[in-house]
């Protein structure tokens, strides 16, 4: 009987490990959530990149306009004060034109200063987002790598456990196996407990001395009086 109970305990260990492995396997993070977050982060980066490009293009355009305005002003200045024109009306018109060009130049310079600020801020945001995308990508590849590796390890272990279970099952009497399955169903998947330090390892209730005496030379299944689990002695395992 003792040998049968030891085998039953080993079966319990196998089943518990199988259960733990299956739970771990189903709870493994395959990176799906992180991948979704990464996509969203990449979209934000693209959006910021587009804004930066638009601001840079606008800045370039304003700088060209400023250059053109300055050139135009210089031309008008040379015409006005170069001594080539003497008609007062024409001179007056040129002076008004120079004033208008000055106002346009001031406005363009203001716009350029604001755009330079915008470009700086956007560039900073793009750099930050780029770093964040890189970090998330690297984290995602770690998560995926761990997932693949752990899946392979657990699948291999589960295969081994299934084989072990079938080998153990073949050595255990069918009546005892039925008893085991029944007890397991009613005791949170744990049918076998260890009598250690005079207590049941599953429910921690003290095991009566008479039961411990019976367990020394078991002729039948000895159960914990409290949780009804099958008891084995710690020195057997
Ligand atoms: Zn118990």
CATH of region 31-171, choose from 3.40.1440, 3.40.980, 1.20.1070, 1.20.58: 1.20.58
Residue 162's pLDDT is 98
DSSP class of 83: S
For the chain, give every domain's residue range: 2-23+173-236, 31-171
Q: How far apart are CA 124 and CA 177, in angstroms?
A: 68
Q: What is the reported pLDDT for 31?
A: 98
CA 229 to centroid of ligand 1, rounded, Å: 6
Question: Distance, CA 230 to ligand 1 centroid (Å)?
Answer: 8
Q: What is the pLDDT of residue 73?
A: 97
Q: Provide the 8-state DSSP code for 219.
A: S
In the sheet where 230-233 sits, what is the strand order? 199-200, 192-196, 230-233
Which pLDDT belongs to residue 37?
Answer: 98
* Ion ligand 1, residue ranges at CB < 5 A: 200, 202-203, 224, 226-227
Give residue 118's pLDDT: 98
- CA 195 – CA 206 distance, rounded (Å): 9
pLDDT at 63: 98
| pTM > 0.75 | yes
Contact at 8 Å (CB) between 140 and 35? yes
What pLDDT is attached to residue 24?
98
Distance from the CA of 18 to the center of ligand 1, in angstroms? 22
Outline where DSSP puts E strands in the chain: 192-196, 199-200, 230-233
According to the model, what pLDDT value does residue 120 have? 98
* The predicted structure's pLDDT at residue 87: 95
Backbone angles phi, psi at 231, to 5 degrees: -100, 140
Longest dimension (CA), the chain: 133
Cα dist. 165→49, 50, 178 in Å? 58, 60, 14
Alpha carbon distance 35, 156 (integer Å): 27
> What is the distance in angstroms between the CA of the first residue and the CA of the last residue of the chain?
14
CA of 187 to the centre of ligand 1 (A): 10
Residue 147 CA to ligand 1 center (angstroms) comes to: 37
Q: Which long-range contacts (CB under 8 A, 24 or more apart) does 131-139 make?
A: 132/41, 133/38, 133/41, 133/42, 133/45, 136/34, 136/37, 136/38, 136/41, 137/38, 139/34
Ligand 1 centroid from CA 44, angstroms: 58
Q: How many angstroms is it from 54 CA to the middle of ligand 1?
A: 73
Q: For each successive 10 residues of the chain (237 residues), what is the average pLDDT? A: 96 98 98 98 98 98 98 96 92 97 98 98 98 98 98 98 98 97 96 96 96 93 96 94
DSSP label at residue 226: T
Whole-Å CA distances, 150 to 16, 35, 74, 138, 196: 18, 19, 74, 18, 34
Instruction: Name the CA dihedral angle for 103, 104, 108, 110, rounded to a multiple of 10 degrees.
Output: 20
What is the per-residue pLDDT for 144?
A: 98
């Amino acid at each position: 009987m003792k040998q049968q109970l030891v085998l039953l305990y080993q079966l319990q260990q196998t089943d518990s490990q199988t259960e733990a492995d299956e739970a771990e396997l189903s709870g493994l993070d395959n990176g799906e959530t992180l991948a979704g977050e990464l996509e969203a982060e990449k979209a934000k980066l693209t959006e910021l990149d587009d804004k930066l490009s638009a601001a840079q293009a606008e800045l370039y355009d304003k700088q060209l306009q400023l250059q053109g305005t300055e050139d135009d002003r210089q031309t008008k200045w040379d015409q006005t004060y170069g001594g080539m024109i003497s008609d007062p009306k024409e001179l007056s018109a040129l002076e008004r034109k120079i004033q208008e060009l000055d106002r346009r130049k001031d406005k363009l310079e203001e716009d350029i200063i604001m755009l330079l600020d915008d470009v700086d801020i956007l560039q900073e945001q793009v750099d930050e987002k780029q770093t964040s995308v890189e970090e998330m990508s690297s984290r995602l590849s770690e998560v995926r790598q761990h997932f693949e590796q752990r899946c392979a390890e657990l699948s291999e272990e589960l295969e081994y456990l299934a084989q072990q279970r079938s080998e153990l099952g073949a050595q255990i009497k069918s009546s005892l196996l039925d008893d085991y399955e029944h007890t397991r169903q009613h005791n949170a998947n744990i049918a076998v407990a260890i009598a250690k330090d005079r207590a049941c390892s599953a429910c921690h209730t003290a095991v009566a001395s008479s039961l411990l005496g019976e367990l020394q030379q078991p002729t039948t299944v000895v159960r914990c009086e409290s949780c009804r689990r099958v008891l084995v002695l710690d020195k057997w395992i």
